[in-house]
Every structure is written in structure tokens, then in C-alpha cells.
């Protein structure tokens, strides 16, 4: 009986191809701050349909359009808790999202 014709493993098979859509959309991950789990996503802020200005809740300054920044929301609440932070502000943010 012939052995099953498994395709040969090529070098690099384990590495998934880069998904440009994911990179463009930002990479989503989770982070804990003060025991609260947040979904964190980076964004370039340059999407054509993002025609608005966000106010960073950490420093109360606006995030200019086209500025790479961090979007975070409470993983156990809904996305209405989503806030836009400057990247360094998110790093130092330790409070809870309202």
C-alpha cells in the first residue's frame, strides 16, 4: 500500500505570510492595566474615512489626523469604552476608561 502523499515540508512553512490588511489595520492585542483587560490596537490615523479629531483622555490634547496612535477599549465592556490615545500616553495611562 503506498504511503499517503503528504506534501513535503518546505523551509519556512511555519511562518505565515505577512497579511498586509492586518498590518494596515493595526495589530490588535490585549494588555492589562490595573487588572483591567484592554483590547489595544495601533492605528496610523490616516484612513480616509477617519475624518475626525480625537481627544486623548490622558493628556486632554487632540490627536491630529494622520498621527499614529493607540486605540484601546475595555475588553469586558463594549466598544463604547473605546478611546484614542497618543502612543506615549497609552503607555503611561494607568486609570480606568470611563
Looking at the Cβ atoms of 4 and 60, the one nearer to Zn ion is: 60
> For the chain, where are the E strands, in sequence order?
28-33, 36-43, 54-55, 62-63, 69-74, 83-86
Determine if 33 is a binding residue for Zn ion (CB under 5 A): no
* Residue 84 · residue 69 · CB < 8 Å: yes
Determine if 97 is a binding residue for Zn ion (CB under 5 A): no
For the four alpha carbons of 11, 15, 21 and 23, in that order, the dihedral sign comes to negative
CB 89 to Zn ion: min, Å: 3
Candidates 40, 71, 72, 89: give the one binding Zn ion (CB under 5 A). Answer: 89
Interface residue list for Zn ion (CB under 5 A)? 56, 58-59, 86, 89
Amino acid at each position: 500500500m503506498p504511503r499517503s502523499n503528504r506534501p513535503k515540508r518546505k523551509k519556512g512553512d511555519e511562518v505565515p505570510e505577512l497579511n498586509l490588511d492586518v498590518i494596515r489595520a493595526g495589530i490588535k492585542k490585549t494588555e492589562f492595566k490595573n487588572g483591567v483587560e484592554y483590547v489595544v490596537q495601533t492605528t496610523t490615523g490616516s484612513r480616509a474615512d477617519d475624518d475626525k479629531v480625537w481627544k486623548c483622555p490622558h493628556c486632554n490634547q487632540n490627536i491630529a489626523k494622520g498621527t499614529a496612535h493607540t486605540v484601546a477599549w475595555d475588553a469586558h465592556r463594549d466598544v463604547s469604552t473605546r478611546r484614542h490615545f497618543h502612543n506615549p500616553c497609552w503607555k503611561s495611562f494607568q486609570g480606568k476608561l470611563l
